[in-house]
Amino acid sequence: MGNISVSSNIQFVGSPKDRLRINKPDGFKIDLNIVISLPINMHRDPVNPEESNIIIEQKYPGFLQLRAGTQYQKILVRDGQECLINRTANEWLDNRNYILRSKFSDWFKSVGNRGLNQFQKMNGQPSCIVDGMKYTIRTSSGGPAWTIIIEAGLFRLDVDLVPALKFPESRWLEGRNYRKIPQECRRGYWMVVPEPHMAGQMDQDAQRSWHICLQSQEDQLFNNTYLLRKTFQLLEKLRDAQGMDKLAPYYIKTLFFWEIDDKKNTDPTFWQRKNIATLFEYMLNKLYEALDNGSIQYFWNKKNNLIGHLNTCTRNEYKGKFMYLLENIRDYKLVAKYLLTSVEYKEYQQFL
């Protein structure tokens, strides 16, 4: 198996980086994209696409399949069987030369586990000592992430590591309803992560599918949006406090992407002029409408409905909570009760 020398960089994502999360500091969580370059030329052959080193197939909105082209298939002949990185990249292919996300993920975890095996053991677990404190390390897997859990007493740090393959923006998707990357959002490359498309038409679709990730480009959308971040914090806090686990934070964030795009042309000072209470009510209405319509369109491709999988019962449950809150939005005590957990609200009551 190959080693981590194919890694290009590490990209912080999610809450710690974009300052969008509200929570008590009784635990810590870091999300990292481990951005990896394939050892091939990533450019597309405009005359004969099949001669490109890699062919990007747009099969489902928001998801891709990656097929090795002529040069990728010759990677072992090109540099020899002993080239460790190339041999590893070749092992990710299936019998039709598609890169399998499962093989890629298994390789990534194997590299990580080999690294952890270099640590001294405490009670059978890898451990390390920092400033006199001994920390134990364990791992878990879920979705595309491989999680490292670092603990010492009551302290716990979860580090979600998501391996991602990078592509130059010159290979960004054309047609099939994908929008162009705005000039102000261009960051040089975009990524795919090994997450399956579970609604594929064939069994192998889940193994071959990769989820599009434009984390860096999306970060740029939040620039110069003033109170937007705080508004998002409140909606995410509401989601957490009300146990709306099936409404992923990214779905809510996507609603903000659409509003940012709209206000950029129709009301460019919107996020600057409005106060936080007005913005919270405005976006709460947008979220209610989205659940009522059963649709939050993926920002980069409208054909991908992010909440299309939510059943009517779940949507109605969430809608009911939002409607009741909207009807009583002027009652700050009730709003606080919705935004806080029962324990947090009990602590808050002493200030009423």
| Residues 132-190 pLDDT 10s | 999 999 999 888 899 999 999 989 999 999 999 999 999 999 777 899 999 999 999 99
Task: Identify the pLDDT of residue 289.
Answer: 97
Does the pLDDT value for residue 47 go beyond 80?
A: yes
Give the domain ranges of the chain.
Answer: 4-216, 222-351
| CATH code, 4-216 | 3.30.460.90
Measure the CA–CA gap between 210 and 65, rounded to whole angstroms: 6
Residue closest to 65 by CA, chosen among 173, 159, 175, 152: 173
Measure the CA–CA gap between 236 and 303, rounded to whole angstroms: 25
Could you identify the residue written with the tokens 């795919």? Answer: 192
Assigned CATH class of 222-351: mainly alpha
Contact (CB, 8 A) for 40 and 75: yes
**For 82-91, 151-160, 276-285, which range has the lowest pLDDT when averaged over its residues?**
82-91
Give the residue-averaged pLDDT of 288-317.
Answer: 96
- At 207, the pLDDT band (50, 70, 90 cuts) reads confident
Contact (CB, 8 A) for 159 and 27: no
Task: Identify the pLDDT of residue 84.
Answer: 85
- Torsion over CA: 310, 314, 320, 321 (sign): negative
Q: Where are the alpha helices (DSSP H) in the chain?
A: 15-18, 70-73, 75-79, 84-91, 101-116, 203-208, 215-221, 228-241, 249-266, 270-273, 276-293, 312-327, 332-339, 342-348
Two tokens at 100? 């399998």
Q: What is the mean pLDDT of the chain?
A: 88
Does the pLDDT value for residue 61 go beyond 80?
A: yes
Range 310-346 burial, b when 16+ CB lie within 10 A, else e: beeebbebbbebbeebeeebeeeeebbbbbbeeeebe
Two tokens at 96? 């039709």
Could you identify the residue written with the tokens 């947008």? Answer: 286
- At 27, the pLDDT band (50, 70, 90 cuts) reads low
pTM, 2 dp: 0.86
Q: Bigger pLDDT: 297 or 3?
A: 297
Contact (CB, 8 A) for 15 and 35: no
